[in-house]
Amino acid sequence: MIRTLFEPLILTMILEAAGAYVLGVRDLKRQYLILLVNCITNPLLVCASLLAMHFMGVQSGIMITYVLFEPIVVIAEYLMYQKKMDVPMHPLIFSALLNMISICGGVLWRSLF
């Protein structure tokens, strides 16, 4: 169970920190904020996704995760970035881009391992 929660969190933190760096967020204060935001949203997303897959089946749970839960996370992170951080572009676009990087990296990770 621990691996189920921590592996996605660590992967997300690495991918989103790298993505933010590429997008122009290079100072430690803003990078730490991105990591903190992910420490809040990622475990909630993983738990919600696991519950959806348990109660609705794997395929339906994955669909619910990408259609419902991920947009909620993007909006929650957008609100946090808008309130607490100066980002190099509109905070909603920034949040969406980082989450797309994380999703694509997670899909690639699962397909390789």
Whether 113 is covered by a domain: the verdict is no
User: How many distinct structural domains can be found in the chain?
Assistant: 1
Q: What is the pTM of this model?
A: 0.94
Alpha-carbon distances, residue 111 vs 35, 72, 102, 107 (angstroms): 25, 25, 14, 6
Whether 96 is covered by a domain: the verdict is yes
| pLDDT, position 23 | 97
Average pLDDT for residues 83-88, to the nearest whole number? Answer: 92
Whether 65 is covered by a domain: the verdict is yes
Average pLDDT for residues 50-60, to the nearest whole number? Answer: 97
In which band, very low, low, confident or very high, does the pLDDT at 103 lie, cut at 50, 70 and 90? very high
Range of the domain at 80: 2-107
Tally the residues of the chain: 113
Whether 69 is covered by a domain: the verdict is yes
Q: How many whole angstroms separate alpha carbon 12 and alpha carbon 98? A: 9
Whether 68 is covered by a domain: the verdict is yes
Whether 112 is covered by a domain: the verdict is no
In which band, very low, low, confident or very high, does the pLDDT at 104 lie, cut at 50, 70 and 90? very high
Whether 80 is covered by a domain: the verdict is yes
Identify whether the C-beta of residue 81 lies closer than 8 Å to the C-beta of residue 87: yes
Whether 8 is covered by a domain: the verdict is yes
State yes or no: pLDDT of 29 exceeds 80. Answer: yes
